[in-house]
Structures are given as structure tokens and as C-alpha cells.
Amino acid sequence: MNEPVPVGRSVDHGFAKLMPDVDRARAWLLTVDGAPQSYVDLDEPAHLEFEYTRRLGHVLDVVAEPGRVLDVVHLGGGALTLPRYVAVTRPGSRQDVVEADRGLLELVSGHLPLPQGANIALHTADARAWLENAPAASADVLLADVFSGSRVPAHLTSVDYVRAAARVLRGSGVYLANLPDSAPFVFLRSQLATLATAFEELVLIAEPGVLRGRRFGNAVLVAGHQAIDVAALARLTAADVFPARVEHGAGLREFIGDARAVRDADAVPSPEPPDGAFGIG
């Protein structure tokens, strides 16, 4: 049997590479310009390798009773890790993936086939433009994991963007975002303040070392109109192989402090990661 070999290709926004994992027979790491973007195990789509994807997976597990079918919109495609996760943990769910990089979508879908029968529609479009034209109240979950290079684009950080996201969600819907930052958390705090302009319930999940200001890292933000099962989420994240803290309520309001919501005119991308923050090898 032939051993899998790396596949590299110039895509719309960089050079993408799919590299096989020597420890798992049909698992692949996707990098763009050398930075890890996604990890997929085709034999075990429910396996989530990266810390932040595991936390997003925990949220997806608690937003509704196990196995319940959901309508999910993913902003940012990568290797379609979380769409595959939803397809096997919540069979029958309808999913839309919005990815601006057509070349990346073609590379991933061509080399890493989606699960048989998965109801996943792929769209090449700008995330905000797609949201502004999507039907209102059409999604149960909206998951944002959009990066231009190593930074979240500025136009996906403002009040107008958040309003577009809230419009697409149903009343019981949940918004999730993967955002990078480090102390003093100017970007992260501003994003929480921005989400608070459209959602009543906010939750922050992050590795304790990141929250203590020891390193640059990813945080997962969760927002909705209805109470989120914080207790169940805290149990899952605390028991994870990569334990994380869940902040909400008074503690989260204290974290946000006097941060202001971001307007389009003032929006900036997420901070540039320090050298080596997300690199490999």
C-alpha cells in the first residue's frame, strides 16, 4: 500500500499544504504559509486535535441535546474539521461553509473527501457579505473561525458584523468565535463588548496560561440570547486533555471592564501573533 505523501499548492491567499500524520493512518494537517490551520482524521471525524477546536466541539455538544439535528453556518472552511464533527455527532444536520479562498476549498474537498451523506454545502464568498445576504433566523449555530493569514480580518470585528450574525441566528441560536490575543487583551475585551451590543449571554473559554497573560493564544467566545449551560461546558473543558477555564457573569463583566464596542470606522484586525506562536517544526 502506498504511503500518503504531502500535497502542496498555491491557493488564493497563500501556499497551502496537506501533510499526513505518521501516527494516524488517514489523518492530515493543513498549513497555510507554514501556519497550522486544521487537522482532520478521515477515519475518525469526531477526533479534534487542536485545543481551540476541542473547545468549539464542547460548545457544539452542549448547545442542544445529544444527537439533535442543527442548522449550522461555518464562517471559514480550513480542512472542514468542525463540519465533519457535526456531521457525525449530529447526523442529518444541515451545514453551510463559507470560505473566501476558492483554491483552498478545492484543495481540501479534492483530497479530503467529506463523510458519505453529509449535508454540507460549500460557498466561496466573503463571510460578512454572505451573512448580509443570508435568510434571517435560518441558523441554530454560527461558528466564526476566519483568518486572513494569521489575523482575523477587521471587517469581521465590528458592531455591524455582529448585527449581521445575530440576524441570521434564530432566537435560541448560538454564536461561536475563535479569536487570538494576549494580555492586556485589548482586542479580546473589545470583541466581548461588541458582542454584548447584540447578545445578552456571553461566555469566554481559554487556557489558564493565556488568561494569566503568560502567552499568546486562542480564546473561544460564545454568545446567545438564552442561557448557555455553563456548568456542563465547564465540566467538559476542565476534564479535557487541554484543560481550560470558562468565564461568565460577573467575572466576565470584570474582564471586559471599560472596553468599548468596535465600529466599522475603528475596526482593526486581531493582533499579529509573535514569531513561533502557531508555527510547526
What is the residue extent of each domain of the chain? Answer: 45-266
Q: What is the pLDDT of residue 35?
A: 87
Instruction: Please state, in angstroms and rounded to a whole number, the distance separating the CA atoms of residues 30 and 141.
Output: 24
Instruction: Please state, in angstroms and rounded to a whole number, the distance separating the CA atoms of residues 169 and 225.
Output: 10
Instruction: Please state, in angstroms and rounded to a whole number, the distance separating the CA atoms of residues 245 and 247.
Output: 6
Instruction: Please state, in angstroms and rounded to a whole number, the distance separating the CA atoms of residues 48 and 55.
Output: 9
DSSP structure class, residue 121: E
Q: Using alpha carbons, select from 155, 152, 150 the residue that is nearest to residue 177.
A: 152
Q: What is the pLDDT of residue 276?
A: 64
Q: What is the pLDDT of residue 281?
A: 35
pLDDT < 70 stretches in the chain:
1-2, 276-281
- Cell numbers at residue 234, please? 465547564
Instruction: Please state, in angstroms and rounded to a whole number, the distance separating the CA atoms of residues 19 and 5.
Output: 7
Model's pTM, two decimal places?
Answer: 0.95
Fold of 45-266: Rossmann fold (3.40.50)
Reading across the β-sheet that carries 27-32, which strands appear in turn?
7-11, 14-20, 27-32, 35-41
Q: What is the pLDDT of residue 2?
A: 66
